[in-house]
Amino acid sequence: MLPESRRSESARPVASLSIEKFAQLEKVVIPLTDLVVLVGPQATGKSLVLELLKLAVDRNRVVRVLKQNGFKWESSEEFADLYFGGGFGKSWTPSTQFVYQGQHIALDDVAGGRQKKGEDAVFYIPAHRTLAIADGWPRPFSGYQIETPYVARRFSEELLTSINQGLIGKGKIFPHPRRLRDAFRELIDDAIFHGATLKLDLTGMRKQFVLEYDENEAKLPFMAWTAGQREFMPLLLGLYHLLPPGGSPSKKKGVQWAVIEEPEMGLHPKAIVAVMAVVLDLLARGYKVACSTHSQTVLEVVWGMSRLKGVPDGPARLCRIMGLPDKDRNVLKTAEIALKCSYSVIHLHHRDDGRVVSEDISDLDPGATSEYEWAWGGLTGFSARVSEAIASARTGG
């Protein structure tokens, strides 16, 4: 049985994003809760769903950015290719239904819509975020091939703009005393950098990011880092963009959503927990967060949060789960606010005909009748089969 707090939360109506008959998506419904987690096998359209969320919220800003960068289009098909990447132009058909918070959105209206100034309301950190610093430095929007999805080009440009405006200052990037709270910074250092200093090296002919383990040792350029450190670097810069300096509890003005595709990319489970701890901080600051994942660790965090809702010492227990100090007043407040947030876990899967549909598995109940729910969208199914095989071997079954 669900905790009372969870049942009452699920009874309240929640705004949603609904997509029908677009690309491989047959019918997908996403509740727009404070935390949204999408799970499912490859090629089920998780990225498409998140890109559609970005398009729904920021459609007029998307039009402005594309036109500012010299792009033009004659049809909604061409606009779809520019936004989603080459090959999606014909995926939006007359049968496509796209509904955001009860409002039907037509691609023709988006493509021919007005431009809107101001900060993007959705800050999108894509799965292919290493593209942003593949050459050791972020590239401008127009520096990418036209087939590159809009969200990847926009992320790179936003990093470049933020860096030029002082996002990382000069010299030391991590650990930085004015970036992230001490407890979260220590988690990241212990899991990812292990005492190394991440710096912006200004001594050569070109700025570059380097890791320095000792002042007397060589500075390691980007391509000499571990794969996990390379994956985490642009994610860290994206989080810096969302977290004002100085330990302020505020959020970036104008930004409503933080979208993080596959926060686990290239990371050990210990590092994934550190990233999810920062996600708690984002929730506590008032952001809505949406992410896609193939990580059981991510769902374990969500499951732990759901079971601690309404528990008197739930915030302290959540801190201990995340490896955070359970007596730090500010950290406890972060955990307390995060536990009050609503959440949803949506599984995307292929039907027998290859079309993709969604199922709400937010309860993550191991005793559920739906395999998608008890197996957590397939993330624990293999472990269950291994356990069953070993157990039956021992009993001779």
Closest CA to 239 of 275, 211, 210: 275
What global pTM score does this model have? 0.92
**Cα distance between residue 50 and residue 42, in whole Å:** 15
- For position 200, what pLDDT does the model report? 86
**Is residue 2's pLDDT more than 60?**
no
What confidence tier does 249 reach under pLDDT thresholds 50, 70, 90?
Answer: low
- Residue 124: what are its φ and ψ, rounded to 5°? -110, 120
What is the average pLDDT across 318-332? 96
- For position 238, what pLDDT does the model report? 95
- For position 207, what pLDDT does the model report? 81
Question: What are the tens digits of pLDDT across the range 232-244?
Answer: 999 999 999 999 8
- C-alpha dihedral, 20 to 24 to 28 to 33, nearest 10°: -120
**Cα distance between residue 48 and residue 77, in whole Å:** 16
Closest CA to 294 of 262, 260, 259, 261: 262
**Is residue 60's pLDDT more than 50?**
yes
Question: What are the tens digits of pLDDT across the range 253-288?
Answer: 899 999 999 999 999 999 999 999 999 999 999 999
Position 206, amino acid: R
Assess contact for 349 and 357: CB atoms under 8 A. yes
**Cα dist from 28 to 24, 42, 48, 242, 346, whole Å:** 10, 16, 11, 28, 9
List strand residue ranges (DSSP E) for 171-314, in order.
172-174, 197-201, 208-212, 220-221, 257-261, 288-293
Classify strands 16-22 and 92-100 as parallel, antiparallel or unpaired: antiparallel
Q: In this structure, is the dihedral angle defined by the CA atoms of residues 115, 120, 122 and 125, taken in order, positive or negative?
A: positive
- Average pLDDT in the chain: 90
Share of the chain above pLDDT 90, in %: 70
What confidence tier does 7 reach under pLDDT thresholds 50, 70, 90?
Answer: very low
What confidence tier does 23 reach under pLDDT thresholds 50, 70, 90?
Answer: very high
**Is residue 369's pLDDT more than 90?**
yes
343: left (phi over 0), alpha (psi -120 to 50) or beta: beta
Which tokens hold the place of 272? 């994934």
- If one compares 177 and 180, the residue with the highest pLDDT of the two is 180
Assess contact for 296 and 258: CB atoms under 8 A. no
**Cα distance between residue 389 and residue 315, in whole Å:** 38
Per the listing, tokens 């910074």 go with: 185
Radius of gyration of the chain (CA): 22
- For position 257, what pLDDT does the model report? 98
Q: Mapping DSSP to helix (H, G, I), strand (E, B) and coil, where does residue 309 land? A: coil
For the sheet containing 25-31, what is the strand order? 103-104, 92-100, 16-22, 25-31, 356-360, 343-350, 35-39, 288-293, 257-261, 122-125
Which tokens hold the place of 357? 């549909």
